[in-house]
């Protein structure tokens, strides 16, 4: 006999909605030839001069995935690897003019997917949900627990 639940399965609710949201983002971005990782790299590289390592950390990507992502962006003409203006030993990911335009379009798409998700809720619940999730992300659920078996870390918002 299974034990009775005494609390709402918050893990399922957050995992499921996050997974579905990611699939919708991926499908929408694919329409303009981008992946969510490509979008992530472009928008963070536009913000300020960042190295490939810094961008990989922001996007929660391992080195191999980051290299493949930047290679795809370079092949599409959206980004270039260049020497840093502050440290000539470091290489940064610079966004081209075409990359800046596709990043603008991809951000509109991402914003639209987020708007649609929130728009599916009654207006009085939207702000409450966002405020509650921000409070959890900055408070009680801000820091992962240490343990022998670590769960995959979610992307950090920067």
pLDDT, tens only, 94-136: 999 999 999 999 999 999 999 999 999 999 999 999 999 999 9
What pLDDT sits at residue 148?
Answer: 59
- In the chain the first and final C-alpha atoms are separated, in Å, by 45
Mean pLDDT of 19-26: 97
Q: What is the DSSP letter of 6?
A: -
Within 10 angstroms of residue 32's Cβ, the number of other Cβ atoms is: 13
Q: Give the gyration radius of the chain's Cα atoms.
A: 18
Q: Does residue 145 have a pLDDT over 90?
A: no
CA distance 68 to 57: 15
How far is Cα of residue 25 from the mean position of the Cα atoms in its chain?
A: 10
pTM of this structure: 0.85
Question: 26-138 has which fold?
Answer: Arc Repressor Mutant, subunit A (1.10.10)
What pLDDT sits at residue 90?
Answer: 86
Residue 9 half-sphere exposure, CB side, CA atoms within 13 Å?
Answer: 7
Q: Where is 75: in which H helix or E strand?
A: helix 63-75
Count Cβ atoms within 10 A of the Cβ of residue 92 and give its class: 0-12 exposed, 13-18 middle, 19 or more buried: buried
pLDDT, tens only, 32-76: 999 999 999 999 999 999 999 999 999 999 999 999 999 999 999
């Amino acid at each position: 006999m299974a034990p009775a639940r005494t609390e709402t399965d918050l893990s399922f609710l957050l995992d499921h909605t996050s997974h579905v949201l990611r699939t919708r983002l991926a499908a929408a971005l694919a329409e303009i030839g981008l992946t969510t990782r490509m979008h992530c790299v472009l928008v963070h590289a536009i913000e300020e001069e960042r190295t490939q390592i810094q961008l990989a950390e922001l996007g929660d990507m391992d080195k191999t995935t980051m290299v493949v992502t930047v290679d795809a962006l370079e092949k599409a003409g959206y980004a270039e690897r260049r020497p840093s203006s502050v440290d000539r030993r470091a290489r940064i990911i610079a966004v081209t003019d075409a990359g800046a335009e596709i990043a603008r379009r991809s951000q509109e798409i991402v914003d639209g997917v987020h708007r649609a998700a929130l728009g599916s809720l009654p207006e009085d619940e939207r702000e409450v949900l966002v405020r509650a999730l921000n409070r959890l992300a900055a408070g009680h659920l801000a820091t992962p627990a240490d343990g022998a078996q670590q769960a995959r870390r979610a992307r950090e918002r920067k």
